[in-house]
Structure 1
Amino acid sequence: HLREAAARAWPVIDSLYGSEAQQLAQRPYLIAPYDPDTTSPKPMLRGAIQVPWDKDVASLAMLLLTNVPIGRPDRALQNWLGGPVVPIVHPVQARAAVYVQLVTAPSQAARSCFLGVIGDCRNALALGDSPDPLQQWYPSAGERRALVFRSFVEYFGYSDHGARKPTLQLCGAGSDSACTELLRSLPPGALPRPLTYDARAALVQIALRLGGREAYHRLVATPGAPIADRLAGAAGVGIDSLVSLWRSEILAARPAPVTLPPWGPWAALGWTAVFAVCALRSSRWRAS
């Protein structure tokens, strides 16, 4: 099974990392199979992935794809991305999730990106060079207040023995200066970016797809350069063209709306009536 799983996983790994995939010759997978039907202790091998010996091929291939032992990228790239560069194993679902983020994120940059403002797409993807990300990502008072109460109400209410609770109350009462003060007091890197890892990972994958076999090598070869320049260099196109293509692919992945068959509403009404009759017959509802 493992050999067949590796044969399935390798084309995906090779297409993502290109020439850098040769690292795996010096950084092999360590896999420790065990019998899931025994009470004997599992084999302990440092750095090894423990796998039931009867795991099916598809599951093994997924395991190989999500645990590629490639060298980690530099800190700047990893901090921007929010994790390692790994294959996206469910790309359609991942892009659909990013579509939902563009529509629902409490950020003007994300919503403007959805409407086609490429500069705001760059901002939503944290590719801008603004020294003030709070103003760049959440420029309106309503966004800042929503961010405080959506993500940090417990943190500000209980940290430092409740010292920030009065400021939190002022923020809730409509004081933008109080909301801004709270958000600026967050530790470095704690301010949520408008879009999640999935959005940035999709952008990286598109850049690597456009750039060919040497794209990943170019991406990691210049750790001191701005992330936008590195992505453009990896893709071989301008950053706005890359971001525009990313947006097009995200919009094309719009989740299909759930549609009911013609008889659906009538069936729902029928079940409602059944439950109502059952409730009326219950002794709990009978008059004594």
Structure 2
Amino acid sequence: MELQVNGHKTFVYTGGKPFDAAKPSVVFIHGVLNDHSVWILQSRWFAHHGWNVLAIDLPGHCRSEGPPPASVEDAADFVLALLDAAGIEKAALIGHSFGSLIALEAAARAPQRVSHLALVGTAYPMVVSPALLQSSLEAPEKAIAMVNTFSHSLLAPPPSSLGPGTWLYGGSRALMRRVLASNPQVNVFHTGFKACNDYANGEAAIAAVQCPVLFLLGEADQMTPPRAAQALAKKAPQAQVVTVKAGHALMSEAPDAVLFALRDFVIGTR
């Protein structure tokens, strides 16, 4: 489905079901150099179990137009504008990595519009090493290889994710290359990493959140290790912390565990 958000075409995946703003809604927000497809299992499950799903491509990424957000704050404003464009008064926000910071900031800016907040593979501060930040600008292929090495603890997925013979590491690299190539005007790799690294409003944002919060973390995550979310989790209202056996690529390495944690959180706390 396509929506006009801030004057630009925005692509949202609805999980294979027609959009219906009258249903309870959930928004899935991807991380750096990803798109809506990283949520394929989770978004389809919610769509086929009575939920209105919006799994987005962020602006300037793949099928969405407009300038890519240069900051977490800009991206949060986009998410709230997306809710307006879709006619959704209130939604659950689920974000991975960069997307988790975007969801957090959006929930802080408009707490009355967010029913649940799920922070997947999150950390605060979300520090990006100077070497990786520089490589994302000057040698993106090298940086993509580095990120995938740090993001994966498995090489092949369990049966419920994708299909037999799928190579997680190679598939993720291919996706990141495709997302990078989708915007020849702006390096969305460096832009996204810099936005993560620069974000300094996490503690103030979590204090403003008024809904239940889930921290869904990978125990083998080297990009955003679980310990890097502890300080934020202690400050979160109504916080739950769930750790699964996975690296940073939680949705593909532990698809069922991620789905069940999100299901139990969003549906169990309605």
TM-score exceeds 0.5: no
- Structure in which a larger fraction of residues adopt strand: 2
Larger Rg: 1
TM-score tier (shorter): under 0.3
TM-score, reference length from structure 1: 0.26
Task: Normalising by structure 2, report the TM-score.
Answer: 0.27
